[in-house]
Amino acid sequence: MNIKVLDTTLRDGEQTPGVSLTSNEKLRIATKLDEIGVDFIEAGSAITSEGERHSIKEIAKQGFTAEILSFSRPLTGDIDYCIECDVDAVNLVVPTSDLHISDKLKTTHSELIELSNNAVQYCKDHGLTVELSAEDASRSNVDFLKSVYSNAIDYGVDRVCVCDTVGILTPDSSFELFNQLNDFNVPIACHCHNDFGLAVANTLSAIKGGATEIHTTINGIGERAGNTSFEETVVSIDRLLPEFSTNIKINEIYDMSKLVARLTGVYIQPNKAIVGENAFAHESGIHSDGIIKNSATYEPMTPELVGRKRKFVIGKHMGTHGLNNRLKELGLSVDDSQLKQICDDIKVLADKGKTVTDVDLQVIADNVLEINHEDRIKLDEVTIVSGNKVMPTASVKITIDGEEILNAGVGLGPVDAAINAIKSLDIFKDIDLIEYHVDSITGGTDAFIDVIIKLQKADKVVSARGTEADIINASVKAYIAGVNRLLRD
């Protein structure tokens, strides 16, 4: 059975506290949603604002394969704005719980059914596809819910949806509810919220109970605790419910997730299923050893399935097998006693609460292997002039192969100026800075700054780290350490 996916990242997802997307950003997300195979894209709520209508119109005129919907209340004013945006369909949201009908709308059951019927009729008269979403359906009287749906069906509604607006269903009650509603002759959808962390589980149960369409948001963003997560649900259907499928290209899920994280600024928790930083990372020795022998031992799916790569993390739980692998990747070969020494040194560092990076591993390995590298470049001095009225300028004194050199540079900020002053020298040409990452180790303005950079020269890539109270010193130190490593061979 094929399950259709309605993605509401651009409507319910944008209702995430603190999230607001530009038209251009919405169009980029919609384009990717269409590419990845989402069946229906809820592009926004046309009544909201002029800017919102502009975004919806832009998305509607792209000629996407996906159906484009706007959210709408059952009011002709709202629906007229949807018509103006030239969408294919409306998501007509009709509250059905007593709480919403009497306290929010201050109306009666019979008036509500009339309102709903008229709105469906009005949409159909204007050639729109209509999905009728019963808001707060999970707290509604089931018989009343059924009569709202069957009335709407008489008026030509195309699909109906059960909204668990405050996320109070459980996998059992979700199955029960859908099981009672599956004798309508239109597709039935499920829209879940994650207030108790059950949105994905409830959505899977809804499918078992008869839902043939699901509402999701990318990364599960949305009001309060968010909506059903697109990636977790789609991959679960694919891997865990063999009798069901979707039209989603699963191997593009990670790219989709990263795009939305970047544009919304809502970052993903590291331990989030499928798309979290650690979802395919292994540190423990027992696990790493198993994974290297057969990845199925500790991975329920391959990272490639969702467009990712496996990662072995260096740390105190890492066994010698995984460590040896990592050292080989860094081009270092060690004997058994050296390997054990490196392993012990890593544990000492990790016990101090420090994240062990490749840079640390390299330093530890160098010490154990007694490889004493003479650094070709040494920083003697760096001086910065910066402020709100001057172009940030840096002068540096460095020693390269024993020769003292003075140089200066300007930049967009003091760090940029300092790096520019260094890298304009001949020895740095062909070296590209491909990553620059700053962390403040403690909270205050007196915090230590940890800078990690990645440098590339031809096909060789190294990372290096600088930790200082001063961000410029930390950056320059990391940069020069990285260049020295690149120039070592």
- Contact positions toward Mn ion, by CB under 5 A? 12
Buried residues in 407-429 as b, exposed as e (16+ CB within 10 A):
eebebeebbbbbbbbbbeeebbe
User: Tokens in use for 327?
Assistant: 């050292």
**Which residue, 159 or 282, is less far from Mn ion as judged by CB?**
159
Cβ 191 to Mn ion shortest distance, Å: 6
Cβ 310 to Mn ion shortest distance, Å: 35
Helices (H) and strands (E) in the chain, counts: 16, 16
CA trace torsion 82, 84, 88, 92 (10° rounding): 10
Cβ 226 to Mn ion shortest distance, Å: 10
**Which residue, 138 or 362, is less far from Mn ion as judged by CB?**
138
Are residues 149 and 134 in contact, defined by beta-carbon separation less than 8 angstroms? yes
**Which residue, 12 or 14, is less far from Mn ion as judged by CB?**
12
Cβ 477 to Mn ion shortest distance, Å: 49
Cβ 133 to Mn ion shortest distance, Å: 8
User: Tokens in use for 21?
Assistant: 């997307």
Residue 104 neighbours by CB under 8 Å, 6+ apart:
95
**Which residue, 72 or 473, is less far from Mn ion as judged by CB?**
72
**Which residue, 130 or 334, is less far from Mn ion as judged by CB?**
130
Cβ 190 to Mn ion shortest distance, Å: 11
User: Tokens in use for 323?
Assistant: 């460590």
Cβ 51 to Mn ion shortest distance, Å: 21
> How far is 229 from 248, CA to CA, in rounded Å?
14
**Which residue, 222 or 322, is less far from Mn ion as judged by CB?**
222
Cβ 394 to Mn ion shortest distance, Å: 51
Cβ 193 to Mn ion shortest distance, Å: 6
**Closest-CB residue for Mn ion?**
12
**Which residue, 9 or 205, is less far from Mn ion as judged by CB?**
9
**Which residue, 18 or 353, is less far from Mn ion as judged by CB?**
18
> How far is 403 from 378, CA to CA, in rounded Å?
10
**Which residue, 12 or 213, is less far from Mn ion as judged by CB?**
12
Polymer length of the chain: 489
Helices (H), 215-294: 230-240, 253-264, 285-293
> How far is 192 from 174, CA to CA, in rounded Å?
10
Helices (H), 126-229: 142-154, 171-181, 199-209
Largest CA distance in the chain: 90
**Which residue, 227 or 288, is less far from Mn ion as judged by CB?**
227
> How far is 425 from 429, CA to CA, in rounded Å?
7
Cβ 465 to Mn ion shortest distance, Å: 43
Are residues 23 and 44 in contact, defined by beta-carbon separation less than 8 angstroms? no
Cβ 12 to Mn ion shortest distance, Å: 4
Nearest to 272 by CA among 286, 253, 285, 291: 253
Are residues 67 and 87 in contact, defined by beta-carbon separation less than 8 angstroms? no
**Which residue, 9 or 393, is less far from Mn ion as judged by CB?**
9
Per DSSP, 158 falls in state: -
User: DSSP labels for 397-445?
Assistant: EEEETTEEEEEEEE-SSHHHHHHHHHHTSGGGTTEEEEEEEEEESSSST
The β-bridge relationship of strands 89-95 and 129-135 is parallel
Amino acid identity at 106: K
